[in-house]
Chain A
Amino acid sequence: MTNVAVGLSKDLPNGRVMRAIVGEQDLVVWRSKSGVLSAWDNRCPHRGMRLSHGFVRGEALACVYHGWHYDKTATCRYIPAHPELEPPETIKAQRFSSTEKGGLIWVSIEEQSTEPSIPDNLKAIRSISFACPMMALKQVIRDLDFTLVKDDNSGWVIQEKSDDQWMMKSIKANISLHLFFQNLSEQTCKIHALANSDCAPDTMKKMSQALEHIRRLAEKHYEVVVS
């Protein structure tokens, strides 16, 4: 599994928090005011509140429940109810390795992880969730026969670069859509989609709409299969 794409860098500005799932691991992914990225077990060491409900306070993440602050090493540094107390170093959330490359946020929950492979200079389109298994989604994409953009009836080719990284390339137009799959559960998954860097806003909208179209097909296909 090594490095898994959990979101687009542009969707997590400085000072913001999000939740991510990798395998069975529930994560809080957050970026400090100065831009430092972290991924931790999504559980406050105090009473177990989800840290993804918390707030960034400068270079710390504050739990929404009792306001305990954790610095970028995930160590508790401040307890509002006991402002004079220096919290023991043992109060720590579990950390995982996180990195950014090619406009994506990557998390690894394994000890060893290989550098993610992704072309440079892609333009982030969007992350989109699907209420169907990843297998069903992939099948629908393989069988697609619509045009990615208007006035380009040449169709496209799909390159399955790896299990979780595909590229859809328009045959005539200079458009490529890079898809990064993220499995969430047996019934749900996500795609993080990026395009070639010279893609204009209008084409980006078309790509976003193409992903909506794929979702309608995939979920419908899956509904038919299960019923």
Chain B
Amino acid sequence: MSFTLYDYALSGNCYKIRLFANILNVEYERIAVEFYPGAEHRSEKMLQISPAGTLPILKKDDMVLSETSAMLFWMAKNFNAADHWWPENDVAAQAQIIQWMGFASDLTATIGQGRLHALFQTPIDKDKIVKGGRAALRKIEAHLTEQSFDGFSFLTGDKPTIADIACFPYVALSPDVGANIGLDHDDYPAIRNWIYALKSLNGFIPMPGIYAMHELKDHEIDYGAQKPFKTGAAQ
């Protein structure tokens, strides 16, 4: 197997790796870890694999990674991803990518924490989390708006990089933290357009809370003509 992923289906951080692996069309071994309620990621057995005590964990022979930014980088290089994911000869672009990777950690610390609270009632400082989450959404909204003036759909240009993958899940999941606290997408048109662009990528897969756009596609109906219309189950 190309690598082993210790994974939890509801985790946005684990989803980054599943998503990128699917986009790159690589197979890997998936080991499900019961994050909740078992807290298996902090069991003695798991801590011996990765003392960080977080998910996901990416393991390849003796290499153990616990930071998703490191995993995405390794995947892009190791699986010869198209150059735009990590532009090999563009140092300025690489610096921007690392910058947004740092921002992705802020998203985990705000929206990610807020969502864990919404799902599992983990204790948080709600006020601080909501303020931080909203500040983060406003920051990426402003940036994506400016990118759109140059005709760019993604964080650092006209093609996605590993930074887009890193920032995507918790931006897309922000409405799950709660309603009417400024974390819905209604206020953020540039974010909505960016999410749409990412969902349109070949190899996109959904996770709970992040729908695919094409689930209902088989029932696209042509209303040009009056009445007779296709039924999904024509015999």
Q: Does A131 lie within 8 Å of B219, measured CB to CB?
A: no
**Does A97 interact with chain B (Cβ within 8 Å)?**
no
A72 CA to B224 CA in the complex, in Å?
Answer: 11
B222 close to chain A: CB less than 8 A: yes
Contacts of A72 in B (CB 8 A): 223
| Contact call B216/A127, Cβ cutoff below 8 A | no
A60 cross-chain contacts in B, Cβ below 8 A: 220-221, 223
A11 pairs with B216, CB closer than 8 A: no
> Among the listed A55, A64, A126, A204, which residue makes an inter-chain contact with B189, where contact means beta carbons less than 8 Å apart?
A126
- Chain A positions within 8 Å of B142 at CB level: 208-209, 212
B231 contacts A by Cβ under 8 Å: yes
B216 touches A62 (CB 8 A): yes
Minimum CB–CB distance from A223 to chain B (whole Å) comes to 12
Query: Which residue from chain A places its CB closest to the CB of B192 in the assembled complex?
Result: A18
Interface string of A190-227 (1 = CB under 8 A from B): 10000000000100110011001000000000000000
Complex contact A59–B222 (CB within 8 A): yes
A16, A20, A208, most chain B CB atoms within 10 A? A208
Report the separation of the CA atoms of residues A205 and B232 in the bound assembly, to the nearest whole angstrom.
Answer: 47
Q: Is the CB of B196 within 8 A of A16?
A: yes
Within residues 161 to 185 of chain B, which ones have a CB less than 8 A from any CB in chain A? 182, 184
B229 touches which of A78, A204, A205 (Cβ 8 Å): A78
Contact across chains for B192 and A57 when beta carbons are under 8 A apart: no
CB distance from B213 to the nearest CB of A (A): 6
CB within 8 Å of A: which of B124-156?
134, 138, 142, 145-146, 149-150
List of A residues within 8 angstroms of B223 by Cβ: 58-60, 71-72, 77
Contact string against B for A residues 173-192, beta-carbon threshold 8 Å, 1 for contact and 0 otherwise: 00000000000000000100
- Contact: A205 with B146, CB < 8 Å? yes
Which of B's residues lie within 8 Å of A, judged by CB?
134, 138, 142, 145-146, 149-150, 182, 184, 186-190, 192-193, 196, 211, 213, 215-217, 219-224, 227, 229, 231-233
Binding site for B on A (CB under 8 A): 7-8, 11, 13, 16, 18-20, 52, 55, 57-60, 62, 64, 67, 69, 71-72, 77-78, 80, 83-84, 86, 126-127, 129, 131, 190, 201, 204-205, 208-209, 212
